Amino acid sequence: MNKRYSIFSLARNAYTRHEDWQEAWRSPAPKARYDAVIIGGGGHGLATAYYLAKLHGMTNIAVVERGWLGGGNTGRNTTIVRSNYLWDESAAIYEHAMKLWEGLSRELNYNVMFSQRGVLNLAHSPSDMREVQRRVYANRLNGIDSEILNAQQVKEFCPQIDLRGGGRYPVVGASLQRRGGTARHDAVAWGYARAADALGVDIIQECPVHGIKVVDGKVRGIETARGYIETPKVGIVVAGHSSVLAEMAGFRLPVQSMPLQALVSEPVKPTLDCVVMSGAVHAYVSQSDKGELVIGAGVDHYIGYGQRGSQQVPEETISAICELFPIFRRMRMMRQWGGIVDTCPDASPIIGKTPVEGIYINCGWGTGGFKATPGSGWVFAHTVACDEPHPLNAPFSLDRYRTGYLIDEHGAAAVAH
């Protein structure tokens, strides 16, 4: 057995407060120059760096993060993964991500705890049900597993649901994606970080970017709290701060940044073995491996950068959850937080080139980008390395807001925004 991991080594490390544990990734000082810099050390930024190094041979690159890895929306989301989007363009990119999820722990040699426990999207009215049917048929045409359940089948799949929904939210049916589920969010950031670092990528934390140098319409470098870094390519992957970074480079984005809240209960024994979402009720719930109910809401409808949110939104979400799941009524909530989500007018992301040569943008995932993490990093790495979008992300250009070729996914986004 490798000495480092022997039982004695574990005991010794416990006494020394793990001081001689090997770091999972280095903490290098920034170099004066890189071939590319990715701004934002969330899942999408780290995945981009990993695929840049692994698939495109770009290893003289850095990820620059203002705080700690995964401290943005990556570590704050409710971890739901699915690919049941309406339009062909979305189905293709989210299903590409789903296929990468299915091999991700092996790819990274890191357990991201991907659990395909099934995702239910509830319908509460005949018009909800028509939307469910339309999306399921569209999913099937795109080769995505998706089923229509009637109320009785919902009850069989998830017996904890009270189909009467407290009278306010009767359940008339649902869509079910069995390959959907959850993954451990921070493990995704750490897994990509460790694998990217092993390929030579510099991961630089606590290093906010506060300026982007553009000369004659072309990027030259970035100003950071740890000095100027020269680079011909910059990938901006900062979620709720996308418009702030775009402003530094002198262009505008059709993005609004709003708080989205989640909360977890005290841990209890396993009771809920699937994911339940309701777009109409603005609530979604699953149970973590620790036993906590993980619950999320719709967005707080104001623009802001505080990672908190207002009190009435979780209150309404909890009251809806209690009506759908009377079994959870006496559970206590332990923690609540917010993340800043970057919402686009058509509830679809922007992944591509910008008006500044050498600057690429990956944003607008709004309330639903966690599920896309591997696919987003994969296509964005292609875009940065090749200076042109991959066919999977070509439809998600910034230019679509000029041409009018919008990809409206408000229904499939399933979380009000």
Q: Applying CB under 6 A, which residues contact ligand PYC?
A: 78, 80, 82, 284, 296, 367-368, 371, 413-415
Q: How many CB atoms lie within 10 A of CB 228?
A: 14
Position among 209, 350, 359, 381 found at the interface with ligand FAD (CB under 6 A): 209
Per-residue b/e over 82-114, b at no fewer than 16 CB within 10 Å? bbbbbbebbbbbbbbbbebbeebbebbebebbb
Q: State in angstroms the smallest separation of the CB of 26 from ligand PYC.
A: 33
Position among 25, 37, 42, 122 found at the interface with ligand FAD (CB under 6 A): 42
Q: How many Å apart are CA 140 and CA 55, to the nearest integer?
A: 30
Site string for ligand FAD, 297-326 (x = CB under 6 A): ------------------------------
Q: How many Å apart are CA 175 and CA 127, to the nearest integer?
A: 13
Q: State in angstroms the smallest separation of the CB of 82 from ligand PYC.
A: 6
DSSP class per residue in 230-259: E-S-EEE--GGGHHHHHHHHT---S-EEEE
- Residue 263, Ramachandran bin (φ over 0: left; ψ between -120 and 50: alpha; else beta): beta
Q: Per the structure block, which two tokens stand in for 286?
A: 């699953």
Closer by beta carbon to ligand FAD, 53 or else 129: 53
Closest CA to 52 of 65, 42, 62: 62
Position among 49, 50, 61, 72 found at the interface with ligand FAD (CB under 6 A): 72
Site for ligand FAD in 352-391 (CB under 6 A): 365, 367-371
For position 260 contacting ligand FAD by CB under 6 A, the verdict is yes
Q: State in angstroms the smallest separation of the CB of 80 from ligand PYC.
A: 4
Site for ligand FAD in 328-347 (CB under 6 A): 339, 341
Q: Which of ligand PYC, ligand FAD, none does residue 414 bind to, with CB < 5 to 8 Å depending on kind?
A: ligand PYC
Site for ligand FAD in 121-180 (CB under 6 A): none
For position 96 contacting ligand FAD by CB under 6 A, the verdict is no
Question: Residue 101: CA atoms inside 13 Å, Cβ hemisphere, count?
Answer: 29
SS (H, E, C) 325-368: CHHHCCCCEEEEEEEEEEECCCCCCEEEECCCECEEEEECCCCC
Position among 64, 272, 283, 347 found at the interface with ligand FAD (CB under 6 A): 64
Where does this chain touch ligand FAD (CB under 6 A) — which range of 35-43, 137-145, 159-167, 379-387?
35-43
Q: How many Å apart are CA 417 and CA 407, to the nearest integer?
A: 15
Q: Which of ligand FAD, ligand PYC, none does residue 166 bind to, with CB < 5 to 8 Å depending on kind?
A: none
For position 101 contacting ligand FAD by CB under 6 A, the verdict is no
Closest CA to 199 of 335, 56, 298, 15: 56
Q: Which of ligand FAD, ligand PYC, none does residue 192 bind to, with CB < 5 to 8 Å depending on kind?
A: none
Q: How many Å apart are CA 93 and CA 88, to the nearest integer?
A: 9
Q: Which of ligand FAD, ligand PYC, none does residue 42 bind to, with CB < 5 to 8 Å depending on kind?
A: ligand FAD
Closer by beta carbon to ligand PYC, 234 or else 237: 237
Q: State in angstroms the smallest separation of the CB of 367 from ligand PYC.
A: 4
Closer by beta carbon to ligand FAD, 282 or else 371: 371
Q: Classify 154 as helix, strand or coil.
A: helix
Q: State in angstroms the smallest separation of the CB of 399 from ligand FAD.
A: 21
Q: Which of ligand FAD, ligand PYC, none does residue 339 bind to, with CB < 5 to 8 Å depending on kind?
A: ligand FAD
Q: How many Å apart are CA 368 and CA 210, to the nearest integer?
A: 27
End-to-end CA distance of the chain: 52
DSSP class per residue in 36-84: EEEE--SHHHHHHHHHHHHHH---SEEEE-SSSTTTTGGGTS--EE---
Q: What are phi and psi of 241, to 5 degrees?
A: -105, 15
Q: State in angstroms the smallest separation of the CB of 239 from ligand FAD.
A: 3
Interface contacts to ligand FAD, rule CB under 6 A: 39-45, 64-67, 71-74, 76-80, 208-209, 237-239, 241, 245, 260-262, 296, 339, 341, 365, 367-371
